[in-house]
Structure 1
Amino acid sequence: MRPDVAWVTIAEPKEIVVIVVKRKGVLPGDGPSSGRRLTLAGQVLLLQLAVVAGVLLVVAVISFRQSTAAFTDERGSAMRSVAEYLAGGEVVRTGVDDTTATRTLAPFVERAVALSGATDVLVTDPDGVVIAAAEPSRVGTTVDLGESRVREGRGWSGDVVRDGGRYVTAHAPVLADDGTLVGIAVAEQSYPSWWDRVVDSSSDLALYLGLGALLGGLGTWAVAHLLKRRTRGLGGEEIATLADHRYALLHSIREGVVAVDNAGTVTVMNDAARRLLGVSDDPVGRPISTVGLDPELTALIAGDAEARDAVVLTGDRVLVVNRRAASSRGLGIGSVTTMRDRTDVVEVEQQLSSNLSISDALRAQTHEFANRLHTISGLVELGEYDELASLLGTLTRERAVLDASLREAVQDPAVAALLAAKASQAGEAGLRLRIDESSRLPTLDPDLAADLTTVLGNLVDNALDACRGGAGSEVVVRVGDVDGTIEVVVSDDGPGVPDEIAASIFSRGYSTKPEVLGGRGIGLPLVRLIATRRGGSATLDGSGPGATFHVRLPRVGDAA
């Protein structure tokens, strides 16, 4: 098998579906020349690594800004202390307006710089003209006081931009004894370069960023590894292709497919299943019990037991259902149920079964007549004419009674012929088929007569099968027209229907002889199907000994 082709095979009895999905760009010469495309896990890995790198970059920027803010607070406080210390000195207060102030104050200014580490310390007059400075070149220049309110006798600190540089600056008023402003003390600290700030914080920042990168990388690798396992190493385009093929497969096949998870929630229901089950809206995501299906079908789909070719009657359809548990890597993930519409096939099978039943009845009559002819021939040869006359009289009376009861009770020739054949079949098996005295059936239209013979044939065959082996067992048939509805009652004195399957006998089917074509496995669902199509009903009464089936077929109904 080529490595660039994925084979997915779904097999059911008599049904094989093969999906071929070609992976692009896997073999040399296939797809783009750039080589094999990244898998979905690889794409997610790269994306997550990019996200981690972006997060680390944002953290670095925030850390840098926090370092700058910390420098501003720390050095701003220090510059305020220096300026206030210098402004409060007695020498500065008394010598600021002296003509020798530049020489007198210089030692105090330089000392302040040395103690505080400030970039520059100045003493100016009230107008901002520098009187003394640690940088002599600034003497005589004017300090831009900007938004400072130091002339009002208030201290101030903030950022100042001067000569292309940025400084943390503090101003403090120099006051005479009478409170008059006689000068201003200024302390400045230049901001370090961005590189110096990065280097200063690099030890902690590198540790935090390294830990973040390590944890982020490990987490990203773990997620990508898990995703690779879950996606079987496929790429995003390949997964999309598989999803498209899955959708096309599920919604193009004629067989219905229903999948439920372990909680009984519908995960898949294709168009064919919705059509077969009469579901109008999309049930995916809803519990199967809320979809509105027949309770027996719901129990089959959501149950634990596997089903193989189970016959289910739902609405006016006969479905053949298969259910299997679904698993992934040994873990149960729910079940998949497939269903096929076999309504037409069942009807054809039933017609063949009816023909087979009639053939058996004719064979039984032939066998019975042959036995009687042999008996008559033997009596003639023996000269037992009195015994022969008695036998012929008995046979004549029995046939006359049966024919008279059938002619009186059943006027429809097709139904009468069926019952006569079934009576002979019962007699050959050592059983008795009796027509109830209250039976009255007029001539029916051909369609209704055909449906009625199918119903009667199934019910009588089932009753005879149930009574086989019981000496003297009897099957009673009552058929009549009651207010425009044909009512059929077939009862037997056999073992009856087990209580545990009585509720599902028409939908799931039941047979004591499953190998018989048209037996109870298919026959009883067909009986209910015919009754339902005509707007009637088919029920079982198991309260007494044996079993009694009641069927109602309206003469004017929704005949299919």
Structure 2
Amino acid sequence: MKVPHLKLGTKIAILSFILVLLSVVLAGVVIVNRISSKMEQEIGHRAMAISRTVAQLQEVQENLNKQEGSKWIQPLAERIRIATGVEYIVIFNMERMRYSHPYLDRIGTVFNDGDEGPSLERKEYLSQAVGVMGPSIRAFVPVLTDEGTRQVGVVAVGILVPTIRDIVGTLRIQLYSSLLVGLALGIIGSFYLARNIKKNMFSLEPNEIARILEERVAIFQAMDEGVVALDIENRITVINDKAYRIAGINRKVLGVRLDDLEVLCVLADLLEANGSSETTELLLNQTWVLINFLKVKVNDQIVGHVITIKDKTEVRKMAEELTGVKTFIEALRVQNHESLNKLHTISGLIQLNKAQEAMDYVYKVTEEQQEVTRFLSHKVKHPSVAGLLLGKYNRGKELKVDVFFEQDSCLGELPETLDANSLTIILGNLLENAMEAVVGKALCEVHCRIKQEETELILSIEDTGGGITPENQAKIFQWGFSTKGTGNRGIGLPLVKQTIERLGGTLDLESGSWGTRFGVKIPLNYSPKF
């Protein structure tokens, strides 16, 4: 038989109801037992008081050992029994011979119930026993004469003890009422509790919560960057496999404070120092990484932080790829735009019936373009670098900037340690910055020199712009800093510097009112750092 699947609210309601029911029943049992114990105590006191009173009667003391003493003792004991409402009063002498009993046929017989022994030794006490009339509490009191110096018998007074059923029968109205009220309150409270818990859980079932948690963990693990989530006390609550690999952590660290980990304690210092979302470059576990700190807010209250860790090598590879693609796309766009302008010029001259001027213009443009193309194809052997330089030359034409390639420039086959993407990043960004620096100036020139020697590659980019102020020379290589306004700026020169450093090269900057020159030297036998 298939067990039906119950919702969380139903399970909580049933469990709460069962707990309330058990609590009410247990409380009832405890109350009945306490009442029974209290009644037994009161019955014992009452039986002991009656026994002491009977033992003090002169008629009992004088007639106890007489042969026909029962004629005097039995009527007296019965009158007291009926008056006090006890079940029986039994008086016997030292030979255990009964002188009184509710049943007349037992008078003159021996009292031998087994619990009367201590009373024959002048001791008074209470005893519980099951007699002929049922379970009872009996009080045994010795009968003393001659001013208490001689014992002549014992008085035993028995009072029946009410059973649990008798007590429940007596209190059934109160007990049943309490039970019903308790169960009603329990049912109402159970459904309210279940509803409140379900509300706090966003009306989700446990299996739904488990599925969401599994999906969240899977998403964290699938991310291509390290993620470390912290609570308000900087304890790690979530960390994905990528963060484990980058930091080189080989043990579970959930619940551990960030500053208690030797590898990640530097992150705790950075978080305490600023806690901002700015990108920070850091050497972590012998790997250069980019760190971001993000605040986690719930209801406008900061409840923790999230740290993202990106491997700088992977970021660099992506930037190189994107930069190369962008460069060639820009070159094609500029060439297309320049070609359209030339075609429009030729078309206009023909429409004006100036065929000779059109021919001269075609010859001039073709000769100029072919001259640059021949120079680059002859001097620069790598096609992607030559394409970049040709694209920047056409880009300069569009911006009304004269781009000159020094005649002694040359670039042969590149060694395996120096990839073309790195060169396109360096040359592309430096040439673009140089052209932007001279736009609108009286003299708009950019000079480019590429010289490959036996042991090193020398690059020189010089412009005739207004130069860079000394205070900005120290800032232009910082991420996000730019003198050209906000937006997608402040990336090119930092990327150039990082690429040069990765290749083991040097970057020199000279600037003044005459313009700016960037000098780059890259060794050809250096193994790049990744």
Q: Same fold (TM over 0.5)?
A: yes
SS of the residue corresponding to residue 31 of structure 2 reads helix
Is the Cα contact below 8 Å between 2:289 and 2:309 reproduced in 1? Answer: no
Whether 1:177 and 2:150 are equivalent positions in the alignment is no
Q: How many residues align?
A: 473
Aligned partner of 1:51 in structure 2 is 19
Tell me the SS of whatever aligns to 2:25: helix
Q: 1:467 deviation in Å? A: 2.6
Assess if the C-alpha contact under 8 Å between 2:417 and 2:528 holds in 1. no
Report the counterpart of residue 186 of structure 2 in structure 1: 216
Q: Cα offset for 1:83?
A: 0.9
What is the match of residue 157 of structure 2? 187
* Equivalent of residue 146 in structure 1, options 110, 115, 132: 115
CA contact under 8 A between 1:257 and 1:272: conserved in structure 2?
A: yes
- Cα distance, 1:201 vs. partner? 3.6
Distance 1:247 1:536, change over 3 A: farther
The share of aligned pairs that are identical, in percent, is: 20
Q: Confirm or deny that 1:75 pairs with 2:43.
A: yes
Q: Secondary structure at the match of 1:447?
A: coil
Deviation at 1:89, TM superposition (A): 1.5
Q: Does 1:453 align with 2:423?
A: yes
| 1:14-163 superposed matches below 5 A | 37-139=5-107, 140-146=109-115, 148-163=117-132
Q: Is the CA contact 2:96–2:111 (under 8 Å) kept in the aligned structure 1?
A: yes
Q: 8 Å contact 1:124–1:184 — kept in the other structure?
A: yes
CA distance in structure 2 between the partners assigned to 1:170 and 1:176 by the alignment = 19
Superposition map of 1:460-539 within 5 A: 460-461=430-431, 463-464=433-434, 467=437, 469=439, 471=441, 505-506=478-479, 520=489, 523=492, 526-527=495-496, 530=499
How many angstroms apart in 1 are the aligned matches of 2:153 and 2:509? 117
Give distance in 1, aligned partners of 2:508 and 2:110. 116
- Aligned residue for 2:138, secondary structure, equals strand
Question: Which position in structure 2 is the counterpart of 1:349?
Answer: 322
Q: Secondary structure at the match of 1:228?
A: helix
In 2, Cα distance between equivalents of 1:102 and 1:255: 108
TM-score computed with the length of structure 1 as normaliser: 0.61
**Equivalent residue number for residue 367 of structure 2:** none
Change (3 A) 1:283 1:203: same
Counterparts of 1:238 and 1:414, CA distance in 2? 54
CA–CA distance in 2 between the matches of 1:60 and 1:206? 10
Q: Check conservation: 2:476, 2:482, Cα contact below 8 A.
A: no
**Amino acid in structure 2 at the alignment position of 1:44:** I
Separation in structure 1 between the aligned mates of residue 510 and residue 15 of structure 2, nearest angstrom: 69
The alignment's TM-score, normalised by the length of structure 2, stands at 0.64
Structure 1 spans left out of the alignment, 5+ residues: 1-31, 368-380, 382-398, 436-440
Asked if the contact 2:477/2:494 (under 8 Å) is kept, the reply is no
Shift of the 207–445 alpha-carbon distance from structure 1 to 2, 3 Å rule, reads same
C-alpha displacement of 1:81: 0.8
**Any residues of structure 2 matched to 1:256-271 within 5 Å, and which?**
260=229, 263=232, 267-271=237-241
The amino acid of 2:326's aligned partner reads: S
From 133, 144, 167, the equivalent of 1:197 is 167
Shift of 1:65: 1.4
1:109-163 CA-to-partner distances (Å, cap 9, x unmatched) read: 1233234321111101113221112332332242424275212211111211224
Q: 1:89 to 1:477 in 2, by over 3 A?
A: farther
Q: Which amino acid aligns with 2:136?
A: Y
AA aligned opposite 1:151? L
Q: Assess, with a 3 A threshold, how the Cα gap between structure 1 residues 449 and 71 changes in structure 2: closer, same or farther.
A: closer
**How far apart in 2 are the matches of 1:69 and 1:479?**
109
Give the counterpart letter for 1:106 in structure 2: Q
CA distance in 2, matches of 1:521, 1:276: 27
Give the aligned CA root-mean-square deviation in angstroms.
6.2
Letter in 1 for 2:65: D
Letter in 1 for 2:9: A
> Could you tell me how far 1:250 is from its partner in structure 2?
2.6
Secondary structure of 1:448's match? coil
- Structure 2 unpaired stretches of 5+: 341-355, 357-371, 406-410
The residue identity in structure 2 corresponding to 1:180 is: R
**Map of 2:359 onto structure 1:** none
Contact 1:63/1:205, CA 8 A, preserved across alignment: no
Partners of 1:222 and 1:195 lie apart in 2 by 36
Checking the alignment, whether the CA contact within 8 Å between 2:396 and 2:435 is kept in structure 1 is no
Q: CA deviation at 1:43?
A: 0.8
C-alpha contact (below 8 Å) 2:475/2:481 kept by paired residues: no
Which structure 2 residues correspond to residues 416-427 of structure 1 after superposition, within 5 A? Answer: none
The answer as to whether partners of 1:318 and 1:343 remain within 8 angstroms in 2 is no
